[in-house]
Structure 1
């Protein structure tokens, strides 16, 4: 690719000289970081792994490939996706762009079209996009209500095995929280336990339901998770209505049950429009319960506060800085892609991160925020082999021409090389026309 030194393709060995690496994504002492949090290093690769990581030599070592301060990141990790519903937009549009409109459009398309072959085709297309963008691991939510669980979970299990050496996959059952208090929820939990996934769903309050009712459903969910030894990953408060907020009740349920597993809450949009004192109390509970928060800035920006013929008044994202200030783990995920919830996206965490920096003011300083799409989701998902550039790790790397953060984040999907086990792979994205026949 123009601008990059030619790389050997045999995976044997190479030395990447003058690589700018986010210091928070490395291990060891590579010297002081610059204002962008970058350190200049030499990356020694042998037999598909990182053999050594050293401060950049003053002069190019013999045979070194000089990156001229271009950034190098580890393979990226997306902790929140919907690969089962991706790319249905051509046949399932959202007429008003609203969250209720998306829910209705997806439900209709799922009932009419989500056969095993349909899910497999779109899921595989999404994985090919992600791999070309440098993704090494994804946690996806799977719509699991009614008969769909028996369709999508076997497809997921097959694709997880097929892609095991390329993209590590995890799955979360996606149903209304009330389902876990019913026989269907018991059966779904057993299926998920057998497949190796997580319990999850949407904690929105149905019309007429009380918060006490939600507490009973959460109790049923936590009891099932403990019985089967499963972690929990929920869609929470994906609205601008703080009166129906469930993040606090979830935290209290985790504390009440002394839950030994991991709890993840995605979205948490309405936290940003709560009264400051109320938001503080909720965040204190989240910290006490050890819950991790996943923000989905582009999708929440797109859906929240959408009113026809009126400009939105808020950005839809949760309180990223305030959560982090309490020591709460905050991750950034891609969420939906080319479906009624979000008509855009390309399974590229770097694009998501670029948007998140702008939407959430994550610069000044950017400091630790690169961990949100690499090291921290890898750790949270139990994938310690991913997310960092360190000696002994697989040489799964992204090479960029951008030397500084402003250069890197100014060009959407600018030039990049993707290495897997030290070998360059194709970064060519699949053509949307490949899916035309299913529409």
Structure 2
């Protein structure tokens, strides 16, 4: 593969950017942000938000808000890097680091994508079980059929991929709007939950769950994904064209991640209103949450909406994880593999441990494996964030598009915070065997 060949070459600059009104030009950039947003509401994030809401009510909405603001800034850096350099994050790492370091980063990125896929496999299987009564182990195997979905969308064009993911996000949002209408949360308590409180730091259990929400929200594969899929836009490559592209791409990701914030907050608000208010105690298992919704909310549709949203989350995440895998493989190794083949490899590496654990340990094992996947992601995250911030500050790479000082200061602070929080999560996991 030539050094200059882009990732996702079949879609490279395939979406025209017009020259009409502001909205017409911006419309051409709408899409990548929503592919990224899926990673912030995938099944791997649900358990922590449900546990936090069921145990502490609305208090941890502060953690949801903070993690979303961090994500917005990091994805803005991704947009700036991709458009300024014409490279994705994986390619930039390969260009800048010695081969052994680059190879190590590739291995870590692949582990993060497998861990992400593992969470999607388990989440989708749980959704199939809740909706159709399919045993978990069979549901895990059925998830391999999503390769047909990938093949269909790939043949239709990149805009179809974006439309499918956007539709799934809309389904998730509609389901949670329905759940919140049934749960009738206190508006005053919700607003208060977004305000920081010293109790989050002084209460050890609350701090632990807040760290879990923060540590599991920013997904490593999203940083590679965003820097790759922005090259599907055929923007003008002169300086004014790139500045406009950065503006539109940043606006797209900010709007999409703001939408993801609402969805993530809705998960925690639902848990607070349905479980904490009714005194059920901590709920950490998705199946338990599903089972309790009908008796607590008094509507048979409540658990159905929950299961549909979970299934939509798993299906949409599977598309973006596949593309991220392709970008990582091509960027680091200059090795191109058809999306379907790539999907089979990644999903196979996720299905095998999931099926084995479920056969041996049942649903409890699946829940623990979901936790383990988040710990793996936490461990890998700094190895994607640090290069992103480093490249964004490098004037030789970025030229006149180098991020402004205030953005770099915030990015460094966020990087240190992420490293510290994720180090604590991993330390706690090693020390206690749980996360």
Q: TM-score, normalised on structure 2?
A: 0.25
Structure possessing the higher radius of gyration over alpha carbons: 1
Q: TM-score, normalised on structure 1?
A: 0.24
Q: Whose strand proportion is higher, 1 or 2?
A: 1
Q: Whose helix proportion is higher, 1 or 2?
A: 2
